């Protein structure tokens, strides 16, 4: 008779324990869910010289924080932890929209209509010759004198990010067709995903990329010669003295352009190589080995002192490795830091430079009724090698 209350009390304790365990589990799940959720906020960031308002969107998921402004669709900052948990900004840029407008190294910008170079600022399409403003010697670079990096995009919040849209009218910078371009930045799990799409009213050419300058040790904190790079490319496109591809798809084997196994940038950048002399370092398009259209890892960068790792996944057929060769110390960027030669690297996922003038390159033509789609992911990690 006395044992029944004890059994009842034991049952009650067991039930209470189960309830507490269930509550504890729910709290853990909620905490994980809250940590994984990306917050998106918006604030004013200034005005263009014409008085157009520029907004700044901040995406944060607890592991990564990215700020993107509507002028040029520019990645203004990207803050990520190193192996010890110390957070730093790893992209070059400026503290104000005025600086971005006044100076044009294309820091963090969306590049279009045509990323990279078009020889002599000219191409033929459907039997007609089109002329693009020359802004790089005798060539057109990154869409001409007023490319997508120099316009204000229409923006709206979307789940985990921001969507930017710009309508480029028929004849803008000499390109045919009214082009409607949408770029969606989303952040999740230490990965910044960039999805591009576009439609046109006439046959046209198109090549879009993001031009972020990365220094995984922290922006403005020295050169990137110690960064270790791997690129999944067996060939590259050699260029002439004006950085226009010759049309050859040259094997990287036996050259300083073989990054199929990891190499520090500084290991071979000053080698006695004609291509490196012409580019003042690496400024070349690599022909990726994966089939275009498949989102796979194309490149990886490791910074030994911080342990930061950047993996680049893309559906594009090429990636331009640029090692900041033209930075010369004349630019003062964020936090008053001076940007000198080789203080950053770019991995511009793209179709090949001057493709409209090379029939053997993957086509960049876009026709009415078609939708251009492309995707690139910048994924960050930290550890030891």
Q: Which residues are catalytic?
A: 211, 348
Separation CA 210–CA 302 (nearest Å) = 20
Separation CA 61–CA 317 (nearest Å) = 30
Contacts of 379 (CB under 8 A, 6+ apart): 190, 191, 192, 310, 311, 312, 313
> Three-class SS string for 57-103?
EEEECCCCEEEEECECCCEEEEEEECCCCCEEECECCCCCHHHHHHC
* Cβ burial 271-301 (10 Å sphere, 16+ → b, else e): eeeebbebbebbbbbbbbebeeeeeeebbbb
CA triplet 162, 164, 166: central angle to 5 degrees? 175
Residue recorded with tokens 């990965």: 191
């Amino acid at each position: 008779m006395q044992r029944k209350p004890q059994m009842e009390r034991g049952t009650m304790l067991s039930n209470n324990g189960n309830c507490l365990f269930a509550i504890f589990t729910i709290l853990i799940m909620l905490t994980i869910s809250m940590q994984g959720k990306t917050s998106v906020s918006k604030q004013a960031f200034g005005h263009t010289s014409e008085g157009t308002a520029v907004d700044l969107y901040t995406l944060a998921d607890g592991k990564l924080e990215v700020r993107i402004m509507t002028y040029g669709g520019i990645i203004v900052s990207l803050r990520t932890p190193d192996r010890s948990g110390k957070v730093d900004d790893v992209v070059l840029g400026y503290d104000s929209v005025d600086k971005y407008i006044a100076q044009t190294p294309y820091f963090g910008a969306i590049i279009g209509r045509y990323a990279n170079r078009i020889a002599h600022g000219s191409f033929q399409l459907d039997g007609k010759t089109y002329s693009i403003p020359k802004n790089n010697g005798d060539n057109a670079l990154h869409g001409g004198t007023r490319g997508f990096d120099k316009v204000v995009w229409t923006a709206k919040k979307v789940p985990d990010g921001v969507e930017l849209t710009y309508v480029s009218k028929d004849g803008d910078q000499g390109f045919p067709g009214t082009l409607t371009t949408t770029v969606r930045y989303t952040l999740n799990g230490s990965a910044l995903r960039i999805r591009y799409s576009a439609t046109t009213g006439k046959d046209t050419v198109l090549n879009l990329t993001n031009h972020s300058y990365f220094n995984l040790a922290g922006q403005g904190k020295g050169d990137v010669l110690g960064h270790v790079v791997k690129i999944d490319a067996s060939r590259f496109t050699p260029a002439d003295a004006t950085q226009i591809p010759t049309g050859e798809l040259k094997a990287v084997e036996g050259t300083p352009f073989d990054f199929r196994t990891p190499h520090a940038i500084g290991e071979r950048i000053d080698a006695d190589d004609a291509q490196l002399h012409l580019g003042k370092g690496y400024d070349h398009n690599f022909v990726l080995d994966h089939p275009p259209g498949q989102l796979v890892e194309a490149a990886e960068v490791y910074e030994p002192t911080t342990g930061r790792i950047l993996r680049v996944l893309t559906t594009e057929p090429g990636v331009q490795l640029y090692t900041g060769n033209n930075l010369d110390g004349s630019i003062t960027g964020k936090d008053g830091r001076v940007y000198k030669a080789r203080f950053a690297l770019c991995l511009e996922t793209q179709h090949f430079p001057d493709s409209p003038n090379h029939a053997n390159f993957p086509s960049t033509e876009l026709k009415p009724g078609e939708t251009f789609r492309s995707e690139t992911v910048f994924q960050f990690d930290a550890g030891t090698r």
